[in-house]
Structure 1
């Protein structure tokens, strides 16, 4: 392959993407689920993005706004998303003992109750961290929900089909979803 073509293939994804102005540190959200809370065969856990110590999502958005002289970024990319089974979990030793198949993370907006896919993984195993496929597209959010997103007015929701092993009484699991974001001019 000639050098020009190789250079074009490597830079094509960057054309029209805008300038990144801020990247987040890893943002971990700790979630809990109990087998007794499983409803209709679905494990669900949720928590506010701003609930973790130091509110790292707010720090990320504030840094981006500072770089943009007080303006909001035009878009935000979710650059990575992982899922980890916490060491303090009881009754399970692997994500495959909690989830039967597809697991997804969605962002649930306050006020509008609209949900937006953040990412998913099919059949996670081990304790992680398991990389999830990123689905999030901030440009698909209506203006009001994008404002809520930037203001951290949303919950991180983890959900998936419960494995038969998780349906046994007494299972109590800790999860961590870890995000990294990049803001653009």
Structure 2
């Protein structure tokens, strides 16, 4: 377990104004810490899963609440994921690079409570180093079913990290800590 939760939530409100009646927006990063062990690898797949609302300080709820405040009490009509990164935690044991954990494609997903629908937040290919490694953003909140979007805003979803295990990961006896950071923007 992490002795210290490495989570930086920097909240910065921003009102965008311009021609054509641009919508009011609010942006902030949200971090979540995930764990994986070599011994938990199944079918050569490393998987870690954690409820977004269980993170210390519940930064996603803080983001949504601040967005509603900035949007004059309205729930965001849509949320964009503008950046997504994955970092190997300094307290990881048995590995010093993401390349020692994963090979090939690594996905970060949002698994919605009740419906069990999955939405890809983003993905990376053959991540190396300790990060932060930028992932390609795939998330589109407008593609979500209305009920799923309501659950998403309520923080009723899990973040799932999944990728093919590097060839030696299962034999390393590794205990790995990750931090995934999402840069969200909420729109009126």
TM-score relative to the length of structure 2: 0.86
Deviating more after overlay: 165-174 vs 124-133: 165-174
Report whether the alignment pairs 1:181 with 2:164.
Answer: no
List 4+ stretches of structure 1 deviating above 3 A: 14-18
Report whether the alignment pairs 1:143 with 2:125.
Answer: no
Q: List alignment gaps of at least 5 residues for structure 1.
A: 1-13
Instruction: Find the aligned partners of 1:116 and 1:15 in 2 and give their Cα distance.
Output: 33
From the superposition, tell whether residues 164 and 151 of structure 1 become closer, same or farther in structure 2 (CA, over 3 Å).
same
Instruction: Find the aligned partners of 2:135 and 2:155 in 1 and give their Cα distance.
Output: 21
RMSD, aligned α-carbons? 1.7
TM-score relative to the length of structure 1: 0.87
Indicate if the aligned counterparts of 2:79 and 2:187 stay in contact, CA closer than 8 A: yes
Instruction: Find the aligned partners of 1:150 and 1:41 in 2 and give their Cα distance.
Output: 33
Match of 2:43 among 40, 44, 50: 40
Deviation at 1:159? 0.4
Instruction: Find the aligned partners of 2:24 and 2:100 in 1 and give their Cα distance.
Output: 39
Indicate if the aligned counterparts of 1:29 and 1:177 stay in contact, CA closer than 8 A: yes
- Relative to total residues, which structure has the larger helix share, 1 or 2? 1
Aligned pair count reads 171
Indicate if the aligned counterparts of 1:18 and 1:184 stay in contact, CA closer than 8 A: no
Larger-Rg structure: 1
Deviation at 1:17? 9.8
Q: List alignment gaps of at least 5 residues for structure 2.
A: 1-17
Deviation at 1:62? 1.0
